[in-house]
Structure 1
Amino acid sequence: MKKIIYCILFFLIYQVALSQTHRFFYEVKFLNDTINKEYLEDIVVLDVNPENIKSYSNNYLITDSMRQKARSELSFVQPIFKNKISKSINSDAFKNFESIYNNYYSIETEDKMIWTISSEKKEIGSLKVQKAETDFGGRHWIAWFSTDLPFPYGPYKFSGLPGLILKIADSQNQYEFNFIKNRNFKETQDTSFFLEVYYGFFKPIAVSEKQFAKLKMDYYLDPYSDVKSGREKVTFYDDNGIEKVPNFPQMTSDMQKMLRENNNSIERNQGINYPVK
């Protein structure tokens, strides 16, 4: 990714009366695969609206932009950082949006953060920032926030400090977010195509955390159950485009291996302990 450049037009943030959506962009680098030690990178968006905040991968915005311009079949830019959330202003209740295969779910969680604010200060770009720490999601986090920016938020669910979080990382350096730029919009930005409804097709099914954990485990144990049962019609082809009979045992083994490897959730205490058969 490009070298992080801090926006010199930060003073525009103060034009609260003229803006309905304050959009902040963060570069995220995270250890997705703890087995093969694979780090991934993405851009994460934070939208601060009059009534709510939202956070999601910038690739959803790219796909949505292509959709609005497209005159033919829509292309999708897949998100690398897959976590999508929203919450009402002055609430600690988050909606977490997750997909499993062709199903889309919303899971409500209470995520109030208790911060310890340090006297330690430094500068990020031309802004003075202050250090704060919290324990959240099974990780210890270190944040740097600026009281010059009147937004008590940061990327993902991080919130509750007296200023915008510009940098935050966990103590094991498995997740790190760095602010890169911002934009202000006079009208509240619409995210219904990819957040509230998944790519315009799938409305989220509300489930509890316990129910969602079971759904993830059920999918892991038999990821092709709908296809094998005939509930979903899928035709498989080889590399030459010739129809073939699927090898479900091998396909299941490959899928389970991928799920085990890509299981380093940002909220580590919410991860699924997938069994090895």
Structure 2
Amino acid sequence: MKKKLIVFFLLLLVTITYGQTERYIYETSVNPDSINLVSMKHERTFLDIKGDKSLFISESKLIKDSLMSAFRHEDKEDHKMKGKDLQKVSIKKASEPAFFENYIIKNIPQHQVYYYDRVAGREIYYQEDRPLKWEITDAKENQNGYPAQKAVTNFGGRVWTAWFTKDINISDGPYKFSGLPGLIVKLEDENGDYKFDLVKKIKIQNAFEKPVDPNAKQSTRVAFNGDKAALMLETGKNRRLPEGYEKGGMNFGGKGHGGMRGGGMGEGRMNGGRGMRPDGSNDGAFPMHDAGLGSNPLKNNESQNPIELK
């Protein structure tokens, strides 16, 4: 009987541990405009690790998605109350401008990285096809409270310096970065436009998990912007035109057309005044998140200083 109890509690402990999510909180600094002298923007980003998978998401995006998830289930009283509580606590935070309005899912052992975005209310994703090639140096320092070792890589047209610690035996890090023999506790590019500093580690019993979207469109990294533009065009064709719309043209100087505010073009602009070419591609103005969700200074400047230059 005693042995059975021991086995039972061991299994319970394993179940509880596996059900927990380890959240690594990074203080993230972004230079929204590398051309002009502007102050750095700051936001918190989370690396949630559960089992052999991880989710990289900004605090603002997490709050927005949690609110949306709660409101989708408002027919259930408990979810309704949860949604109201979230709204009271987080509505201000959710409305703050954020740079990382996308999210990244990694399969850690297989080194698979999936980049998710949303455009015109439709989810779209691709699998990263550029493996990181790290040069691990002999340099060692204490970084953000951990003994760390320096590594360098060239990714997305930028040279990145990472400091990883073997004290946390997880081969992962913020954004798309992983593959080192330990967790990345500090990461920055050579120009100082992007900085990720690990500031805290917590355990969460019931962390928000991104729901599976069966209608998500799979793309490739190369075709991603073109597929996003095509989704916007497709959504525009399927939406009812507003009253007063004149055939033969669109008034881009007025308010949003085609009922696409919040899902495409709004307030007569599309990503800072630039848009799609006739062939359906874009001119680089499409940011890394849902286009046309209102005025957002970080989104508008992202085309000037993207985290990946190529």
Residue 252 of structure 2 corresponds to 248
Quick one: distance in 2 between partners of 1:49 and 1:176? Answer: 24
- 1:51-200 alignment to 2 at 5 Å? 51-66=52-67, 67=70, 68=79, 69-71=82-84, 77-78=94-95, 79-186=98-205, 189-193=207-211, 196-197=212-213
Matched, 1:266 2:307: yes
Residues 72/123 of structure 1: CA separation in 2 closer, same or farther (3 Å cut): closer
Pair 73,154 (structure 1): closer, same or farther in 2 beyond 3 Å? closer
CA distance in 2, matches of 1:88, 1:73: 29
- Answer yes or no: is the 8 Å Cα contact 2:144–2:197 preserved in 1: no
Code of the residue aligned with 2:181 in structure 1: it is P
- 1:192: Cα distance to partner? 2.3
Instruction: From the superposition, tell whether residues 230 and 127 of structure 1 become closer, same or farther in structure 2 (CA, over 3 Å).
Output: closer
Q: 1:136 to 1:225 in 2, by over 3 A?
A: same
**Paired amino acid for 2:141:** K
Structure 2: stretches of 5+ with no match in the other structure:
1-13, 71-78, 245-249, 255-267, 276-284, 286-299
For residue 33 of structure 1, report the CA deviation from its aligned partner.
3.0
Percent of aligned positions with the same letter in both sequences? Answer: 26
Matched, 1:215 2:234: no
Deviation at 1:50? 0.9
- Across the aligned residues of Structure 1 and Structure 2, the Cα RMSD in angstroms comes to 3.5
Counterpart Cα distance in 1 of 2:45 and 2:163: 17
**Per the alignment, do residues 48 and 234 of structure 1 end up closer, same or farther by CA in structure 2, a change over 3 Å counting?**
farther
Match of 1:231 in 2: 239
Shift of 1:176: 0.7
Compare 260-269 and 61-70 and name the one that shifted more.
61-70
Counterpart amino acid of 2:209?
T
Contact 2:116 2:124 (8 Å CA) reproduced = yes
2:216 maps to 1:204 = yes
Q: CA deviation at 1:186?
A: 4.8
- C-alpha spacing 1:226/1:87, structure 2 compared with 1 (3 Å): closer
1:224 Cα deviation from its structure 2 partner: 8.0
Q: Distance in 2 between matches of 1:136 and 1:130?
A: 19
* Contact 2:120 2:235 (8 Å CA) reproduced: no
Q: CA contact under 8 A between 2:25 and 2:45: conserved in structure 1?
A: yes
Q: TM-score with structure 2 length normalisation?
A: 0.64
Q: Secondary structure at the match of 1:110?
A: coil
Alpha-carbon distance between aligned partners in 1 of 2:301 and 2:183, rounded to the nearest angstrom = 33
Q: How far off is 1:143 after superposition?
A: 0.9
Shift in Å at residue 128 of structure 1? 1.3
Cα separation, partners in 2 of 1:65 and 1:160, compared to 1, 3 Å: same
- Deviation, structure 1 residue 209: 2.5
8 A Cα contact 2:144 2:185, kept in partner: no
List runs of 5+ in structure 1 lacking aligned partners: 1-14, 237-245, 270-277
- Contact 1:34-1:261 within 8 A present in 2 as well: no
Counterpart of 2:290 in structure 1 is none
Deviation at 1:142, TM superposition (A): 0.5
